[in-house]
Amino acid sequence: MTLKDQRFFLELSEEIGNHPDKQEILADYEMHVYEMLQEESIDDKNLYSELVKRLGTPQEIAQIWKQETTITPKKTQWLFVLINAGIFIGGALLTLSYNIFHWNWAELLWENLINIPFIIMLLYILFWGLIGYEIGKEFGHGGYRLLQKTFLFSIVPNILFMYLIIFKIIPYTWFQPLLSFRFIVVCIVFTAFLYPVSMVGYRWGKKVSV
């Protein structure tokens, strides 16, 4: 570390103050600067100004992190869990509306949705990629455990639903002509992709955060 980037990180450390994730924040920025210097040569006398140009002043960076202390991991975790639960509950209500109450709007919506199941699955996978990205961007290194917990809490309804379908506790006829052995296998495969996709999003968001 040169004298110029020492100055940058000393100022950043002072500005961040007693932030609970101070060491992780500094480590992330140090790694980012290290990677930047490996890719291109920057003169020592211009390094500080170049870091300010690309990353912002230490004061600006510290202000961003101080604002983000209001976004707690617990709140973020339950926000995404509740969004996932909302999607699940919405699907359950639509299924009941179509199969039990036979409402016209439910029948129309159902007929349209069963024609695009793979698009819906793709959107759901992208949704998990977005969750990983947002957690990585907001919490950096500290978001890894948060993503694991969020995924665990959120995936339980999905697995329970598959269990109820496979063991015919929920009637197969409710999902005809969509439901088939092939479709169930595809659903299981797509579900297996959710966590890897969320981790890719997390790593991307973590990189963007610095």
Residue 106's pLDDT is 85
pLDDT at 129: 94
Q: Which among 175, 33, 157 is positioned nearest to 110, based on CA atoms?
A: 175
CA distance 85 to 90: 8
Radius of gyration of the chain (CA): 23
Residue 196: what pLDDT? 94
- pLDDT 10s per residue in the chain (210 long)? 554 568 889 999 999 888 877 888 888 888 888 888 888 888 878 888 888 988 889 999 988 877 666 556 677 778 888 888 888 888 878 877 888 887 888 888 878 887 888 888 899 999 999 999 989 888 887 788 889 989 988 888 777 777 776 677 777 666 665 556 676 777 778 888 999 999 999 999 988 876
Identify the pLDDT of residue 177.
57
Whether the CB-CB separation of 144 and 206 falls below 8 Å is answered with no
Whole-number pLDDT of residue 128: 92
Q: 3-class SS at 105? A: helix
